[in-house]
Structure 1
Amino acid sequence: MIEATNFREAMSLLTTAVNVITTKGASGAHGFTASAVCSVTDSPPTLLVCMNQSARSHAHFVDNKTLSVNVLSAQHEHISNTFASKLSSAERFEQGSWTELVTGAPILEDALVSFDCAIDDIQQVGTHSVFMCRVVAIKHSETPDEANESLVYFNRTYHQLGQPQFA
């Protein structure tokens, strides 16, 4: 049997994009930092997002049945840290500029890309909920391509990916 600590150590070597996942409903706006996001299919456009069931905002995501995936650029490390912190939901949204698309889930205005989603299905797997999310709108960054370096997480630290190539 594989021990959880051994699994977590091995997974730290899997490079992942850094995302802020948000929702908004009757109880306000909520969000968390996540790396467990991936594409499922393009027909219909669907993402998979994993969230720990013990997270304080878990019930809000389940109740709202909507979320947005905001893919962070290298300039957003502070936002990633804020949404991973113990700060209140209201304090978290004081960082960055936020808007919305179709579902009302907060969209980070200068994210590399944001996916606005309806949660179509939720599966419980161990300690986490797996949200199957149908993409209903997409917003791309409007900043120049050279500023769009991705924020990734590898070996328990942040890195930048996509630096301009110089000849």
Structure 2
Amino acid sequence: MVDTKVFRDGMSLLGSAVTVITTDGEAGRFGFTATAVTSVTDEPPTLLVCMNRNSFAHPYFIENGVLSVNVLQSHHQGVSWDFANRELTSEERFAKHEWSTLKTGSPILEEALVGFDCEIHEAHEMGSHSVFYCRVKDAVVKDGGQGLVYFDRAYHALNEESCAS
């Protein structure tokens, strides 16, 4: 087995879009910052979202059975920090930003590049995390904007200049 530090150092060099994963339902409204999100298939549209089972919000996501994947823009570093900050309550995190909803009722960040509205179709446990397979029920895509990625333990904006060949 590879050493955990070597694995984490290597994974820090795998750039990922920064997202805020949100839920709402009978269990309440919760959210967290994540980079472990990817598409699985487009028939049917399905995303994979990984969440630490030790997170205080984990049981609420399971109980609600729905979530939204909010893909952040380059100026949303503060949103990312808010949803990663363990000192803020769930109410404080959501109060700082503008939200709407689509079909499932999960919060969609008004300024997100993309908001995917999903039902959790399956959940599997792997090590310390749950792997959610999420069926996309609706989506909203904004025109323009710059993406936010996390690479080498820092935020980076994606724009035309940074992506030019």
TM > 0.5 between the two?
A: yes
Distance 1:13 1:119 in 2: 29
Q: How does 1:72-91 map to 2 (within 5 A)?
A: 72-86=72-86, 87-91=88-92
Deviates more, 1:23-32 or 1:129-138: 23-32
| Residue equivalent to 1:7 | 7
1:154 paired with 2:151, answer: yes
CA distance in 2 between counterparts of 1:123 and 1:150 reads 29
**2: CA distance, partners of 1:102 / 1:4:** 40
Give the distance between the partners of 1:15 and 1:162, measured in 2 at CA: 15
TM-score (norm: length of structure 1)? 0.94
8 A contact 2:27–2:63 mirrored in 1: no
SS at match of 1:40: strand
- Contiguous gaps of at least 5 residues in structure 2: none
Unaligned runs of 5+ in 1: none
1:1-167 matched pairs, under 5 angstroms: 1-86=1-86, 87-142=88-143, 145=144, 148-163=145-160
Percent identity for Structure 1 against Structure 2: 51
Runs of 4+ in 1 over 3 A off after TM superposition: 163-166
What CA RMSD, in Å, does the superposition of the two structures yield over aligned residues?
1.3
Q: Summarize deviations over 1:61-117 as a string: whole Å, max 9, x none.
A: 011110000000001110000000011111110121001000000000110000000
Number of equivalences: 162
Q: TM-score, normalised by structure 2?
A: 0.95
- For residue 95 of structure 2, give the secondary structure of its aligned residue in structure 1: coil
What is the CA–CA distance in structure 1 between the aligned matches of 2:30 and 2:15, rounded to whole Å? 26
| In 2: Cα distance, 1:66 partner to 1:77 partner | 25
Shift of 1:163: 3.5
The one-letter code of the counterpart of 1:82 is: D
